[in-house]
Chain A
């Protein structure tokens, strides 16, 4: 039994260190698939790694000494939240750690004189405000099903989580769109080729601090997708497939929709997202009451 636990822990620790690499490949697949959807060849799958290595070698231009530290904190806290998830810890703690990672990015972007960076930081704050309630309600609905906030408890369920919480799963789609910084909800930092606020929150970052931000973003994507894969935790391979399907849906949404403003982002997540989750919880309660 003890050997079994230590083997699991070792696997988790390896997974934690692999998370940024997996994220890098996911971003490469993202760029390739996006290119194919626009009938282009697209860059090679390892393109994001070339980008990060190049950024690491650029001459450092630092507009405020706090920014590289906060960029490192962004990466560190993203990795911590993934580590907590991989080790089966508390869901609330995971969500709050993710919140701290985002706050580091916001403080870094507000800590400059560039109006683009400041405006990007404010918009990033609005996007956190949009998806955080949905994530918290997701954690609460998982608590309602499993009776605990611990991620490890989800693995004890005899049926996959998605059979109890199908609507919560749907409510996570806009959250994933915001977190991956994809259209229509990429107001805080424009993705490639369609600039609005120069580069939003990332405007003042360059060189190795931007590379750290990229690594943090990859880890965050892996962390969000692993959160989604928990919805089929009884068989994790199906869970990972589920997460990849959701990733593909997000890419399709990105290529279909133009950018919308922050008001529609807030309206969508707060109305549709929260209503779906509450409907799901009410449905679960109703089922219990009917049985009695």
Chain B
């Protein structure tokens, strides 16, 4: 089972979902995936298919329109999986926390493993968050093995 955990840590495929972000955090996520930071050297691949993804990166406060989509994407991902909330809005709702149309933080809809604060979160912070998420993934993998 050790091999399995190692393989999981070495190839986290990420799915990126924007649920109503201002695009600031999305630009930073894409910046973290560019050749400068070279996420692929850790095996990180940006994959568009929830069925093949291990990690869900969510930006923006979820709102009443897209909470269904967010939940659907989460449910379509096979276990083991981790969710990373990127940016202040995804973590708490930030300045939109009491807007009538938003839910204020994605953890009201799906369970979140790692919170990356910042408006917008910097690429270095995002990479740090993903490393934390990998530790969570290892824990989940070990728990599954037991």
Contact = CB atoms under 8 A, between A and B. Distances in A.
A20 to B, nearest CB: 16
Interface stretch (B34-42, B63-71, B98-106, B116-124): B34-42
Interface string B51-86: 110100000000000000000000010111000000
A47 B43 contact: yes
B10 A35 contact: no
A51 B43 CA distance: 8
Interface string A23-64: 000000001000100111111000101110111011111000
B41 A206 contact: no
Interface stretch (B1-9, B21-29, B87-95, B128-136): B1-9
A254 interface: no
B11 A50 contact: yes
B79 A59 contact: yes
Contacts of B6: 50
Given A40-B35, A41-B38, A43-B40, A50 B7 contact: yes
A181 interface: no
Interface residues of A, number: 33
A264 interface: no
B11 A51 contact: yes
A210 B52 contact: yes
B47 A35 contact: no
Given A39-B35, A50-B11, A193 B45 contact: yes
Main secondary structure of the interface of A (DSSP, over half): loop
A49 B3 CA distance: 11
B49 interface: yes
Interface stretch (A74-82, A196-204, A217-225, A229-237): A196-204
A62 to B, nearest CB: 10
A3 B101 CA distance: 80
Nearest to B53: A206
B49 A40 contact: no
B43 A43 contact: yes
B46 interface: yes
A199 B13 CA distance: 13
A206 B45 contact: no
B8 A57 contact: yes
In this complex, the member of B43, B47, B49, B141 whose beta carbon has the largest number of chain A beta carbons within 10 angstroms is B49
Contact of A199 (B11, B41, B42, B48): B48
Given A50-B11, A54-B11, A199-B48, 12 more contacts: A31-B40, A41-B38, A51-B11, A54-B54, A57-B141, A58-B54, A190-B48, A193-B33, A205-B51, A206-B49, A206-B52, A207-B78
Across the A-B interface, the 3 shortest Cβ-Cβ residue pairs: A53-B7, A206-B51, A195-B48
Interface of A: 31, 35, 38-43, 47, 49-51, 53-55, 57-61, 190, 192-193, 195, 198-199, 202-207, 210
27 contacts: A35-B41, A39-B35, A40-B35, A40-B41, A41-B38, A49-B7, A50-B6, A50-B7, A50-B43, A53-B3, A53-B4, A54-B4, A54-B7, A54-B10, A57-B141, A58-B78, A58-B79, A58-B80, A59-B79, A60-B78, A61-B51, A192-B45, A193-B46, A195-B47, A206-B49, A206-B52, A207-B78
